[in-house]
């Protein structure tokens, strides 16, 4: 499974054989069945996760006890509570698998040692953080659109999510009740008027 991570890193930076060897030895494999937790809200956040296969979500419980989903991660995405991870604190969020999922996990101590010995990896993670920041800005921008416009733009920007994320969780992430997804999804799935009307 480390090969998936190495190939992803090499898309952004070259890696020496020494770096490859240390990356392999620094990460461990974590296999989660569907709906299992990688991290519970309030637990010490000691690891960061690379999704080799499957899907994760990051969420928290609001004051009413309802789950609020903030992020998803598919293959080649990273996930953790970054603030808690970097300050060795307790997580403000929970991380759960939405499918049978295989993760590559690295502890904070091993992460620090890896970046200290191979500072070129800082460039790779800068790309990762930039992508995450861009996704966050995109979400903030489209909140101003109508729900149908929001959904259409999300489908266009992240087509891989639509078939893999349960409707209830996707609605939570997009910020509206699940019933609002029914209509735009039906319109996306329905054939156009031109294709429904037989030609004469």
In the chain, what percentage of residues exceed pLDDT 90? Answer: 57
Please name the residues in contact with 123: beta carbons below 8 A apart, sequence gap of 6 or more.
12, 13
pLDDT tens column, 78-120: 999 999 999 999 999 999 999 999 999 999 999 999 999 999 9
Q: What are phi and psi of 106, to 5 degrees?
A: -135, 135
| Non-local CB neighbours of 199 within 8 Å, separated by 6+ positions | none
- Residue 193: alpha-carbon gap to chain centroid: 36
pLDDT tens for residues 56-86? 999 999 898 888 888 899 999 999 999 999 9
Tokens 């997009």 appear where? 174
Mean model confidence pLDDT for the chain: 85
How far is residue 34's CA from residue 27's CA, in Å, rounded to a whole number?
22
């Amino acid at each position: 499974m480390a090969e998936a991570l190495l190939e992803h890193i090499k898309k952004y930076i070259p890696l020496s054989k020494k770096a490859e060897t240390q990356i392999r030895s620094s990460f461990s494999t974590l296999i989660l069945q569907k709906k299992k937790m990688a991290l519970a809200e309030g637990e010490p956040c000691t690891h960061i996760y690379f999704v080799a296969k499957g899907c994760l979500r990051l969420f928290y419980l609001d004051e009413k006890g309802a789950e609020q989903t903030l992020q998803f991660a598919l293959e080649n995405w990273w996930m953790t509570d970054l603030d808690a991870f970097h300050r060795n604190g307790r997580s403000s969020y929970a991380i759960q698998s939405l499918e049978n999922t295989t993760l590559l996990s690295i502890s904070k101590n091993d992460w620090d040692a890896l970046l200290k010995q191979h500072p070129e990896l800082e460039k790779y993670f800068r790309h990762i953080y930039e992508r995450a920041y861009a996704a966050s800005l995109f979400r903030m921008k489209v909140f101003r659109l109508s729900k149908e416009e929001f959904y259409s733009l999300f489908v266009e920007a992240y087509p891989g999510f639509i078939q893999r994320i349960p409707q209830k969780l996707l609605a939570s992430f997009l910020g509206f009740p699940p019933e609002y997804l029914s209509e735009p999804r039906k319109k996306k799935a329905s054939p156009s008027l031109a294709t429904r009307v037989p030609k004469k």
